[in-house]
Amino acid sequence: MLTVPMAIDHVDVLIVGAGLSGIGAAVHLRRNCPDKTYAVLEARGAIGGTWDLFRYPGIRSDSDMYTLGYSFKPWTAAKAIADGDSIRDYVNDTAREYGVDEHIRFHHKVVRAEWDSGTARWTVHAHRADTAEDVVLTCDFLFTCSGYYRYDEGYTPQLPGVERYTGRLVHPQHWPADLDHTGKRVVVIGSGATAVTLVPAMARQAAHVTMLQRSPTYVISLPSRDPLADALRRRLPAKAAYPIVRWKNVLLGVANFQLSRRAPGVVKALLRRAAKGKLPVGYDVDRHFSPRYDPWDQRLCVVPDGDLFAAVKSGRAAVVTDTIDTFTEHGLRLASGEELPADVVVTATGLNLLAFGGMTLSVDGADVDLADTVAYKGMMLSGVPNFAMTIGYTNASWTLKADLVATYVCRLLRHLDATGQQIVTPLAPDTADLEPIIDLKSGYVLRAVDQLPKQGPAAPWRLHQNYPRDVLLMRHGRLTDEGVRFSRATAPTTPATPVA
Ligand SMILES: Cc1cc2nc3c(=O)[nH]c(=O)nc-3n(C[C@H](O)[C@H](O)[C@H](O)COP(=O)(O)OP(=O)(O)OC[C@H]3O[C@@H](n4cnc5c(N)ncnc54)[C@H](O)[C@@H]3O)c2cc1C
């Protein structure tokens, strides 16, 4: 049991995380519920989350910024697929522009939140990394924007013989600032978004870069600039052009996803043909770029202006599809017997999924096991009152969903005030027909899926991964349905010290 100090700060809404989602949530709250007090607790010492943490060469978005950007703040830079620094600046600029930065408490890692129906409040326990203090706040509504993976450690599988290796071994999540790969032989292990970003970026200075993959991923080349955005930028103000390009990209994304689901063979063939056209004549496209799974069983990897294919075509980079037999002193030996000499090995092997940055929840003294909960509209949990979470789309830009979740939370808060209610509690559907909340078959999802909430077979418990449909449901749909109960506190609230 954690101890509670005498004077406790209270806010109406407590946001956990100052990444893309947390800053967006705070702005939505400020604009739509200006009378609510709020604070943002952030474990790290900076704004930006993912876009501040990852510093590997070439770090960039793999979705377009017209949909990864906020609905309320046009993306005005020239590149649609943007580098990490630009995205970090965009999030920081947003926080400053809307005065959200003044409400962030850095170095506050939330470790536990306890709901009490008697007072209709959360008691939230955070640990301060800078002072080693434990801090307690209370809030009426807890809004988690804490991403989906462990910040302190990326995923590295068992690497046979790695202890013998004398070169530099690096995980992209913790890129060493002193690493100079100029003129070095580099092997990047992995085939996901990070690997396909790193390979062309490192190939610019390295002697040679090999992307070593166990099996291929779908890789699609997209222009780094959006021709429609470029044309509209010259004719219209940013506020008018932005939603047009955003909706164009949303609809293209939905069409692409639907086609992949309905005619996977057609999409497979199109992706193969597009890759073939950008690779050297006679290249073994089937071995290195034709996955066994269907498109969108895992996220497609985007490469801007075909940079990965160009690096392969130029000979500065190569793709090897094989498994590691063992690390050697100076590189790797593969199952085929091939040796890959390497001065630097990068393990682009993924993330460790982690809900709420490891924070635990209890409701009226009972611990919440996330695996026993069912997501309501993909943003609340059955049996957990006055609580929302931000989990973006798996088949489209994260922020599209994050914006809708924040909008919905604001609608809920206004509804509670307007109806004199204090508590909103999602209910589980009356069925055992439940599925994992994330429907991707990627390794990082499969490793953790048993610990995550479930989704139900139909609305409002079903995630449709479809933005236009969610706009109707979350921006315009009913707040009262069979999946949710509104109520009041069962005992009077204890006064606490309010904070601005
Ligand atoms: C390398 C990489 C590239 C990506 N590219 C794309 C892309 O192109 N398009 C796309 O749609 N998605 C992409 N994603 C997914 C990406 O994470 C989201 O786009 C988006 O950045 C998530 O924002 P977020 O604020 O929800 O989470 P995060 O960026 O993870 O930020 C969460 C914040 O919450 C803080 N936090 C977590 N737990 C706690 C706690 N318990 N207490 C206090 N603070 C806490 C963290 O310190 C962090 O600052 C990418 C992910 C990675 C790793």
Asked if 114 contacts 123 with a C-beta cutoff of 8 angstroms, the reply is: yes
| pLDDT greater than 50 at residue 1 | no
Closest CA to 199 of 53, 315, 372, 98: 315
Q: Would residue 2 count as lying in a domain? A: no
Please check whether residues 263 and 291 belong to one and the same domain.
yes
Ligand 1: centre distance to CA 60 (Å): 13
Ligand 1 atom 19 nearest Cα: 398
Please check whether residues 147 and 175 belong to one and the same domain.
no
Asked if 426 contacts 330 with a C-beta cutoff of 8 angstroms, the reply is: no
Query: Could you write out the DSSP letters of every residue in 355-401?
Result: GGGG-EEEETTEEP-GGG-BEETTTEETT-TTEEE----SSS-HHHH
Q: Is 172 in the pocket of ligand 1 (CB under 6 A)?
A: no
At residue 399, the pLDDT reads 97
Closest CA to 323 of 213, 159, 217: 213
Q: What is the pTM of this model?
A: 0.94
Q: What is the mean pLDDT of the chain?
A: 94
Token look-up 């997501």 returns 375
At residue 298, the pLDDT reads 83
| pLDDT greater than 90 at residue 11 | yes
Please check whether residues 132 and 30 belong to one and the same domain.
yes
CATH number of the domain that residue 95 is part of: 3.50.50.60
Choosing from 51, 75, 104, 146 the residue with most ligand 1 atoms within 8 A of its CB, the one to mutate for a pocket test is 146
Q: Is 194 in the pocket of ligand 1 (CB under 6 A)?
A: yes
What letter represents residue 211's amino acid?
M
Dihedral angle sign, alpha carbons of residues 23, 439, 363, 5: negative
Q: Would residue 500 count as lying in a domain? A: no
Q: Is 41 in the pocket of ligand 1 (CB under 6 A)?
A: yes
| pLDDT greater than 70 at residue 5 | no
Q: Which atom of ligand 1 is nearest to the CA of 357?
A: 38
At residue 448, the pLDDT reads 76
Choosing from 40, 398, 442, 467 the residue with most ligand 1 atoms within 8 A of its CB, the one to mutate for a pocket test is 398
| pLDDT greater than 50 at residue 3 | no
* Residue-number span of the structural domain to which 229 is assigned: 156-349
Ligand 1: centre distance to CA 139 (Å): 23
| pLDDT greater than 70 at residue 441 | no
| pLDDT greater than 90 at residue 340 | yes
Q: Is 190 in the pocket of ligand 1 (CB under 6 A)?
A: no
What's the whole-number mean pLDDT along residues 396-417?
Answer: 97
Q: Would residue 431 count as lying in a domain? A: yes
Q: How many domains does the chain divide into?
A: 2
What letter represents residue 23's amino acid?
I
pLDDT in tens, 98-109: 999 999 999 999
Asked if 195 contacts 312 with a C-beta cutoff of 8 angstroms, the reply is: no
Q: Is 390 in the pocket of ligand 1 (CB under 6 A)?
A: yes
What's the whole-number mean pLDDT along residues 75-104?
Answer: 97
Q: Which atom of ligand 1 is nearest to the CA of 22?
A: 25
pLDDT in tens, 363-390: 999 999 999 999 999 999 999 999 999 9
Please check whether residues 307 and 371 belong to one and the same domain.
no
At residue 263, the pLDDT reads 95
Tell me the percentage of the chain whose pLDDT exceeds 70.
96
d(CA 25, CA 16): 10
Q: Is 146 in the pocket of ligand 1 (CB under 6 A)?
A: yes
At residue 2, the pLDDT reads 46
What letter represents residue 110's amino acid?
V
Q: Is 356 in the pocket of ligand 1 (CB under 6 A)?
A: yes
Please report how many Cα atoms fall inside a 13 Å half-sphere around the Cα of residue 392, on the Cβ side.
Answer: 26
Q: Is 88 in the pocket of ligand 1 (CB under 6 A)?
A: no
Maximum Cα interatomic distance, the chain, rounded to a whole number of Å: 75
Please check whether residues 68 and 141 belong to one and the same domain.
yes
Q: Is 300 in the pocket of ligand 1 (CB under 6 A)?
A: no
Q: Which atom of ligand 1 is nearest to the CA of 59?
A: 1
Ligand 1: centre distance to CA 146 (Å): 7
Q: Is 42 in the pocket of ligand 1 (CB under 6 A)?
A: yes
Please check whether residues 235 and 369 belong to one and the same domain.
no
Please check whether residues 386 and 433 belong to one and the same domain.
yes
Q: Is 25 in the pocket of ligand 1 (CB under 6 A)?
A: no
pLDDT in tens, 353-364: 999 999 999 999
For residues 186-219, one letter each, b for 16 or more C-beta atoms within 10 angstroms of the residue's C-beta and e for the rest, the string is bbbbbbbbbbbbbbbbbbeebebbbbbbeebbbb
Q: Is 357 in the pocket of ligand 1 (CB under 6 A)?
A: yes
Among 298, 331, 349, give the residue marking a domain's end: 349
At residue 495, the pLDDT reads 52
pLDDT in tens, 265-280: 999 999 999 999 999 9
What is the DSSP secondary structure assignment for residue 299, as one 8-state letter?
Answer: P
Q: Which atom of ligand 1 is nearest to the CA of 23?
A: 25
Ligand 1 atom 5 nearest Cα: 61
Q: Is 125 in the pocket of ligand 1 (CB under 6 A)?
A: no
Q: Would residue 250 count as lying in a domain? A: yes
Q: Is 187 in the pocket of ligand 1 (CB under 6 A)?
A: no
| pLDDT greater than 80 at residue 166 | yes
| pLDDT greater than 70 at residue 442 | no
Please check whether residues 202 and 322 belong to one and the same domain.
yes
| pLDDT greater than 80 at residue 90 | yes
Q: Would residue 115 count as lying in a domain? A: yes
pLDDT in tens, 223-269: 999 999 999 988 999 999 999 999 999 999 999 999 999 999 999 99
At residue 464, the pLDDT reads 84
Question: What does the block give as tokens for 66?
Answer: 């017209």
Q: Which atom of ligand 1 is nearest to the CA of 61?
A: 8
Ligand 1: centre distance to CA 313 (Å): 33
Cα 261 to chain centroid distance, Å, stands at 22
Q: Is 145 in the pocket of ligand 1 (CB under 6 A)?
A: yes
Q: Would residue 494 count as lying in a domain? A: no
Tell me the percentage of the chain whose pLDDT exceeds 90.
88
Q: Is 202 in the pocket of ligand 1 (CB under 6 A)?
A: no
Q: Would residue 324 count as lying in a domain? A: yes
| pLDDT greater than 70 at residue 342 | yes
